[in-house]
Every structure is written in C-alpha cells, then in structure tokens.
Amino acid sequence: MGNIAKRHKLILEHLKQDGYVKVQELSEKLGVSEVTIRKDLKQLESKKMLYRSHGSASTLSSIISDKHIDVKEKMFTEEKTRIAKAANKLLEPNDKIIIASGTTLFSFANEINTTDNLTVITSSVKVSLALCYNPNIEIIQLGGIMRKNSVSVIGHYAENILESLSCNKLFLGVDGIDLDYGLTTSNMSEARINQQMIDAAQEIIILTDSSKFGKRGFCKICDFHKIHHIITDSNAPAHLIDMIREKEIEVTLV
C-alpha cells in the first residue's frame, strides 16, 4: 500500500479499535516493510497522534488519569484475585515486606493468611485494616498526608521512615508499564513514595493487571532495571512480555 495518507488512516483505525498496534502485524496487513511502518509511526507520533514503543504503538489516551480507589476496585476483580494469590506464594517466614497502595495490593493483603511471623510496612490504610486481625503480622503504618483517592499516606513523614528501613520484598502497583518510559503512576507524590519504597527493598515485585501495559501514568516511578519480578494476568500482550523477559525480569502470568 503505497499511499501514505491511506496507511496512516488505517493505522489510526486499528489503534482506535485495539488500543495498540504491532509493527509486524501492520506490515503484514498493509503489505509494506516494517521499516516503512516504523517511519509511519514516527510521523504520527510527531503529530501527537500516538505513542511509539518497541515494536508497537499505543493511543495518546493511554496516559492514565487518577481514578478513585472505589472505582478501581470494581475493575479487573478476577484478575486481581489471581495476581494476589500468586503473590501470596512468594511470602516466606519472618519476611519483612513493604506493601504499597492500590487495589491490586489490597487484594493481595486480603489473600495473606499466614501462620508464620510477618512484618508489613505499608502506606495503605486499607491494607493495614485488612491485616490487623492476624496475630502473626506486625504492621508498621506509615504516617503523613492522607491521599484520599487511594486511601493512603504520602509526604516527607512517610518517606523519612522508609529511609531508615531495609526490607526483603516490595509489592508495588503501577498505573502504566511502557517499555521505553518505564513504570509510572498518576500522582507525583505517589511516585516519590514509591521510589523511597524501592530504595528500602531488596526485591521489587510488581503486581498489575494486563490493562496497564503499553500505557503511561503522569509520573515516572522507575526504569525496568530497578525491578525483579512482574505478576500479571494472562491477557498481557505477549510481545511486550517477551521483551520484558529479555531484560532478565521474571514474569508470572496467571
């Protein structure tokens, strides 16, 4: 298909329908080389009509807005439960872990029913409430400014506590996973406390449903080299999972 305008129109139609497009698939559908498709995507990105990533592109609407936790809790509930069960299997006796805020992390907390000693540091009030009735779990609730959208705390008081801690594992949620840009969230203060959590933990485990792949939140948390393990559902884009594994990051699909 030699007509550039026609190619661009079809690319944007596929993008609108699926939310993302792959270079290889577009090349086959439109009957042109992958080099040509990459040039097309570069031109469309320069016009701010899409975002490019490794081997694919996603819509501009892939920038995540900050939704209230009550809204998020009703989304991808089955996937979050499967992710939570898989994360629960990673806990070991006498672990000292950090659990960040978010609905997938709240699902994880609800799955924890350990008879072993466990110390949990968390910014999430809902996580603390879910765990506080287990006599084997010691909870350190971070303090600070209440962020109402996530029912969690942010600010320098919480960050100062994290600076003095060293933990085995961090279980962290994200709003976006972009192969070029990294891991993101929708709130600047949330990103900052997430960064402090990463510095305080030896192993970084991301719990996220598949809808977050190929998208960006407003604020960057970290690059991929900071994380060790991602647990997500089986609907995650296979080509992105393959590229993440190529970065020597463990990925568990549930």
Q: What is the CATH number of the domain that holds 24?
A: 1.10.10.10
User: Rounded to whole angstroms, how far apart are CA atoms 75 and 222?
Assistant: 25
213 contacts 237 by C-beta, under 8 angstroms = yes
Residues 26 and 48 occupy one common structural domain = yes
Grade residue 60 by pLDDT with cuts at 50, 70 and 90: low
Residues 173 and 224 occupy one common structural domain = yes
Residues 57 and 92 occupy one common structural domain = no
Q: Which of 21, 45, 62 is the last residue of a domain?
A: 62
CA nearest neighbour of 148 among 206, 77, 66: 66
Per the structure, the count of domains in the chain is 2
- What is the residue-averaged pLDDT of the chain? 90
User: Rounded to whole angstroms, how far apart are CA atoms 207 and 233?
Assistant: 10
Q: What is the DSSP string of the chain?
A: ---HHHHHHHHHHHHHHHSEEEHHHHHHHHTS-HHHHHHHHHHHHHTTS-EEETTEEE-GGGBPP---HHHHTTSSHHHHHHHHHHHHTT--TT-EEEE-SSHHHHHHHHH---SS-EEEEESBHHHHHHHTT-TTEEEEE--SEEETTTTEEESHHHHHHHHT--EEEEEE--SEEETTTEEEES-HHHHHHHHHHHHHEEEEEEE--GGGBT-B-SEEEE-GGG--EEEE-TTS-HHHHHHHHHTT-EEEE-
Residues 88 and 53 occupy one common structural domain = no
Amino acid 71: pLDDT: 63
Amino acid 72: pLDDT: 63
Residues 103 and 222 occupy one common structural domain = yes
Question: 130 phi and psi, to 5 degrees?
Answer: -70, -30
Question: What is the radius of gyration, based on Cα positions, of the chain?
Answer: 20
In terms of residue numbers, what domain contains 51?
4-62
Domain of residue 102, CATH code: 3.40.50.1360
pLDDT exceeds 60 at position 125: yes
Residues 89 and 202 occupy one common structural domain = yes
Residues 119 and 176 occupy one common structural domain = yes
Q: Which of 45, 62, 79 is the last residue of a domain?
A: 62
Grade residue 166 by pLDDT with cuts at 50, 70 and 90: very high
Amino acid 67: pLDDT: 60
Residues 45 and 140 occupy one common structural domain = no
Residues 25 and 133 occupy one common structural domain = no
Amino acid 176: pLDDT: 92
Grade residue 104 by pLDDT with cuts at 50, 70 and 90: very high
Looking at the chain, the whole-number percentage of residues with pLDDT higher than 70 is 92
Amino acid 98: pLDDT: 98
Residues 100 and 42 occupy one common structural domain = no
Global confidence as pTM: 0.79
Q: Which of 62, 81, 112 is the last residue of a domain?
A: 62
18 contacts 52 by C-beta, under 8 angstroms = no
Unique residue bearing structure tokens 């350190």: 140
Residues 111 and 212 occupy one common structural domain = yes
Residues 99 and 218 occupy one common structural domain = yes
Q: pLDDT tens for residues 209-228?
A: 998 988 888 899 999 999 99
Amino acid 52: pLDDT: 79
